[in-house]
Structure 1
Amino acid sequence: MLKSSFSWLALLLLAVSVCIVLPSRGQNRGQNQEQVQLPDGDGKATVQAACAVCHSMNQVTNAGHDREEWTTVLHMMVNVGAPVPEDQFDTVVNYLSKNFPPKPQPAAQIIPGNVDVSIKEWVVPTPGSRPHDPMFAPDGSVWYSGQMANVLGHFDPKTEQFKEYKLPPKSGPHGLTPDKDGNIWYTANFGAYIGKLDPKTGEVTKYPMPDPNARDPHTPLFAPNGNLYFTLQGANMVGRVNPKTGEVRLNTSPTPKSNPYGMVMTSKGTPYFVEFGAPKIASIDPDTLEIHEVVLPHEESRPRRVAITADDVIYYSDYSRGYLGRYDIKTGKMSEWPSPGGPKSQPYGITIVNGIVWYSESNTKPNTIVRFDPKTEKFQTWAIPSGGGVVRNMVHTPDGNLWIACSGMNRIGEVVIKGGTKVSRKN
């Protein structure tokens, strides 16, 4: 039982390290372990005992956070079983924040403009939840995936009240999408299944992956045909669930280690996804799951999230290069613009409201909300009050406002676009 728990925790922490809670290029458990010497001080022994269970000390020594961020990271680890005694928690946080402070980040570039926004944030109930994806429901409420707390969170903006729904153990909820009946579908990124939560009863229906290699469902999206399509990042696959029959089908990406990531749906019901491990965008045949790839102009491009206009023009966040990219499906034309924060700004969560592109720079200090007008090709930016802590995804509301999840700050936030108009068609 203990061995099983450790292997689960090791897998989970590896996934977390890839997503920048710890360094994005971490080593496997035990690799170079003997080469790392931690600084002396209160908390050292606990760090060695707790962290070495699942990964090398390199992942600790290569990280850098302030005290608040280390507190959140440690809560995340405790949530998934890291053996940190309660009476040692503050000691460990003090040790980590003293010896591994924040690393240099590019300063946020605040560009003024004519649009006025206000940003309000709320701390979610469970410390270390690491809110990952937000979702705006048809009833006006907001949902989020509390990935490291193993919950789906519900927030009523009118009452400002939260409610958390516990999921089956070791699920690691990631992406969210609603169905027409009010159920919340999610990808169990650590549990290798697609889940459906009935908010009325709290009942969860699981759709397990038919292939043991399909370990990490990522982004889910319903198509007009009623089927749910999803990406699997580390497994290098895409998949489809038929909600009526429960059948799950999978297909492997033609590019090895391409890491299928964010996904959108065209007006004709064709899923498109970006490959975070390759400079490519790809489409999925809704019937056969056949994948057709389009190569981006730069070999170094690593698109992470993606949005689409009402007339099927794709915009993507080029995370590795610090660019905003554009791909016109109909003409094949590609364009790109450097993000205001520079090549290390790491653009991430993205959406489109009435033809205007909104996204976040996840590596500037603080993180930013960025507005891009394709007609004028002008940017405007705002700092996220809490710092952001990496905004991995964002969604828009029918009123044209935005909701974000600030993972490292354990918050969700609303971006109100003053003077905005209701969304035409789907965006």
Structure 2
Amino acid sequence: MQASLRYREIFFGKEREETMWRNPQFVILMLAIAMIPVRLLQGAESGGSIGGVVKNPSGEPAAGALVRVKSAERGLTRTVISQERGRYNASNLPPGKYTVQSVGGGLQSNGATVEVDGNRSATLNLDLTAPAEFKKTASMIEFAAVMPEGEGKDTILSICTHCHMNGLQEILLSRKSREGWLESIAKMENRPYGFNESLRISERQREVVSDYLTKNYGPDAPPLDPGKLPKTWVKGAAVKSVITEFSVTAGAFPHDVAVDSKGVGWVSENRHGFLGRFDPNAHAYTRIPLPGGKSTPSPSSVAVDLQDRVWVSDGNNNRIVQYDPKTSAFTVYPIPAGPNGERKNLNTIRFHPDGTVWATEIGANQILRLDPATKKVAEYPVPSGVLAKRNTLPYGMAIDGNKFLWFIESIAEKVGKVNPVTGEITEFEIPTKGAIPHRMAADADGNLWFGEAGGVGQLGMIDYRTGKITEYPTPTKYSGAYSIDVDRTRNLIWVDEMIADQIARFDPRTKNWVEYPVPTRYSSIRRIEVDPSRPNRVWFSGSHKDTVGYIDVIE
């Protein structure tokens, strides 16, 4: 049975009023329309399977290889890992044609097409005989492994990889004179990217980087030898995982994903102005346009409250939008614009036990408090930013064991604590310079965790009682630790390693790490979230590759 491709887009025209949502007949109509998915993939939990054995060039079983099973028609890719004796099995596949290919140890198999029909099993053995297409299969961290060591490398990985997700590949394949490299650096100093400022680089850093690039990637440097890239296999506990990825609308730039109590993922299509809903049981993706504003909506942060209502920040229109899936109703909460009409660009949204909603304003150096009952807004400037007359870039946020709010100051490399009653802010220095922190989450004990996305690659923990910060290096150097979430049932910390194309799990009790691969390279994952209905499932949004997906840990 072939899946049908359907598009669900609800448009109200330019004249859209909140009063429309108070009309019961209109709400019923919208709810009916909401049941039509973009793509409907039936039988996800009772489908067929593809399995077999992966072998190396010598004909021996190969364990630790990635096996990608992809349906282009459905936009679905399921990746499994070959186990002992090279065996793999991709199950619960909806009917249709799949392309199957394995990658491991710098090699790949030829792509093969397999038809999945109903609940039947198909057998396909895979031979790793051809060199892997390194531009598609090598992660940024694998390119980093062949870069000569030095201060220049550390600086490049720390400040150049958050906009250029495939920047290392571009560097290793380019050959320029010193003047050419300096020209490239100058371009970045005058070109903001997304929420990021233009490149901030000191005169000394500019000299160090240009010297390094000229020495190692100048006009006379030999071309990159792909054979020197690491021959990577998945090892240890990470082999017991399944990764599912779904392709959303091209160009959507899915910035965030949040998960409701039923295990449904909600996605912000930042460049299209839609809220996406992905049902993993039916593999159905539904697009819901945000209510119109003065500008095209640009949803960024997404959060789901205890009533399963979805809250979305809309930077272009200085507002927070709430969507109730039960009624298909929207509620809009306007946020005051800046003195000259500037956008506040709200980021992380959190729900306080007292009923208020809090968010970071990355475009205004402020912390926002919203009372949904009255729509009253209070804003608290970040002191160090006011003193320095610059934006500290407040980003991630979490609530501690005393119900105080903590937030990240990404550029200032500090963390702040907000008294929810008075709005008073206390700031703490992060021990490691060049940390470039971003996201934050609270654990079951009320302590705060954050990722240090700079070249250092560390996980930070704040003792909420004392403010003491402890840092834990990730197993992979230059990991780009970015987004954080916590499995509170077992107090396990999950970390998005953006540069390494991995999602890691850290156990604070044993200090044990497991790093799980993200098969689609350069995904630029900006948000991960543990599924409250299945703690062994961790969701992610791949902004650069227009994907939403999840990792299932098999235990």
Normalising by structure 2, we get a TM-score of 0.55
Q: Is the 2:344–2:361 Cα contact (8 Å) retained in structure 1?
A: yes
2:251 to 128, 131, 134: 128
Specify whether residues 405 and 322 from structure 1 end up closer, same or farther in structure 2 by C-alpha distance, changes over 3 A only.
Answer: same
Quick one: which amino acid aligns to residue 347 of structure 2? H
Aligned residue identity for 1:122: F
Q: Aligned partners of 1:405 and 1:378: how far apart in 2?
A: 25
Match of 2:353 in 1: 224
Q: CA deviation at 1:158?
A: 1.0
Question: C-alpha offsets along residues 134-177 of structure 1, whole Å, 9 cap, x if unaligned?
Answer: 11112321101111111110011111101111123422111112
Q: Give the distance between the partners of 2:510 and 2:305, measured in 1 at CA.
A: 36
Q: Deviation digits for residues 173-225 of structure 1, max 9, x if unmatched?
A: 11112234442111112321111123355443322222424521111111101
Tell me the distance in 2 between the aligned counterparts of 1:249 and 1:264: 18
Deviation string 1:17-53 (CA, Å, 9 cap, x unpaired) is 99626899xxxxxxxxxx99xxxxxxxxxxxxxxxxx
Corresponding residue of 2:275 = 152
Question: 1:355 matched to which residue of 2?
Answer: 491
Quote the Cα distance in structure 2 between the aligned partners of 1:278 and 1:23. Answer: 26
- 1:223-302 aligned within 5 A: 223-256=352-385, 257-302=391-436
Alpha-carbon distance in 1 for matches of 2:317, 2:166: 23
* Paired letter, 1:351: D
- Aligned positions of 1:51-200 closer than 5 A: 58=187, 112-114=235-237, 116-124=240-248, 126-167=249-290, 168=292, 169-200=295-326
Structure 2 Cα separation of the partners of residues 175 and 386 of structure 1: 22
For 1:407, the equivalent position in structure 2 comes to 543
Q: Which of 486, 509, 531 pairs up with 1:397?
A: 531
Residue identity opposite 1:206 in structure 2:
V
SS in 1 for 2:521: coil
Matched residue count: 331
Question: Where does the alignment leave 5 or more consecutive residues of structure 2 unmatched?
Answer: 1-159, 168-178, 195-223, 386-390
> Please, which of 313, 336, 344 is the counterpart of residue 215 of structure 1?
344
Residue range with higher mean Cα deviation, 265-274 or 156-165: 265-274
Residue 143 of structure 1 aligns with an amino acid whose one-letter code is W
Question: Which of residues 186, 202, 205 is equivalent to 2:331?
Answer: 205
Unaligned runs of 5+ in 1: 1-16, 25-34, 37-55, 64-72, 74-101, 420-427
Query: Which deviates the most, 307-316 or 329-338?
Result: 329-338
Matched residues in 2 for 1:229 and 1:108: separation?
45
Greater CA deviation, 229-238 or 166-175?
A: 166-175
The answer to whether the Cα contact below 8 Å between 1:265 and 1:272 also exists between their aligned partners in 2 is yes
Contact preservation (8 Å) 2:318, 2:337: no
Q: CA deviation at 1:389?
A: 1.2
Q: Which amino acid counterpart does residue 144 of structure 1 have in structure 2?
A: V
- In structure 2, the residue matched to 1:329 is 464
AA of the residue aligned to 1:299: K
- Partner of 1:405, secondary structure, is strand
Query: Aligned pair in 2 of structure 1 residues 281, 109: CA closer, same or farther (>3 Å)?
Result: farther
Identity of aligned residues (%): 27
Shift of 1:319: 1.0
Quickly say closer, same or farther: Cα 1:295–1:59, change in 2 above 3 A.
closer
Contact map agreement 2:316 2:343 (CA 8 A) in 1: no
Match of 1:371 among 459, 484, 505: 505
Mapped to 1, the partners of 2:411 and 2:543 lie a distance apart of: 22
Partner of 2:262, secondary structure, is: coil
Question: Relative to 1, partners in 2 of residues 1:191 and 1:19: Cα closer, same or farther, differing over 3 Å?
Answer: farther
| Distance change in 2, residues 1:157/1:279 (3 Å) | same
Native 8 Å contact 2:448 2:464 kept in 1: yes
Shift of 1:253: 0.5
CA distance in 1, matches of 2:477, 2:317: 36
Residues 336 and 223 of structure 1: is their aligned pair in 2 closer, same or farther, counting only changes over 3 Å?
Answer: same
1:361 partner amino acid: E
Q: What letter corresponds to residue 284 of structure 1 in structure 2?
A: V
| Compared CA separation, residues 200 and 334, structure 1 to 2 (3 A) | closer
Q: Relative to structure 1, is the Cα distance of residues 346 and 107 closer, same or farther in structure 2, using a 3 angstrom cutoff?
A: farther
Amino acid in the other structure paired with 1:123: S
Give the counterpart letter for 1:185 in structure 2.
W
Deviation at 1:368, TM superposition (A): 0.7
1:292 is displaced (CA, Å) by 1.2
For residues 335 and 237 of structure 1, the distance between their equivalents in structure 2, rounded to whole angstroms, comes to 26
- The alpha-carbon distance between structure 1 residues 166 and 205, as it changes in their structure 2 partners (threshold 3 A), is same
Q: Does the CA-based 8 Å contact 1:327-1:334 persist in structure 2? A: yes
Q: Following TM superposition, by how much is the alpha carbon of 1:348 offset from its aligned partner in structure 2, in angstroms?
A: 1.0
The question of whether the paired residues in 2 share the 8 Å contact of 1:270 and 1:285 is answered with: yes
Secondary structure class of the residue paired with 2:520: coil
Distance (Å, rounded) in 2 between the aligned partners of 1:18 and 1:193: 30
Q: Which has the larger radius of gyration?
A: 2
Using the TM superposition, give the Cα deviation of residue 387 of structure 1 relative to its aligned residue in structure 2, in angstroms: 1.8
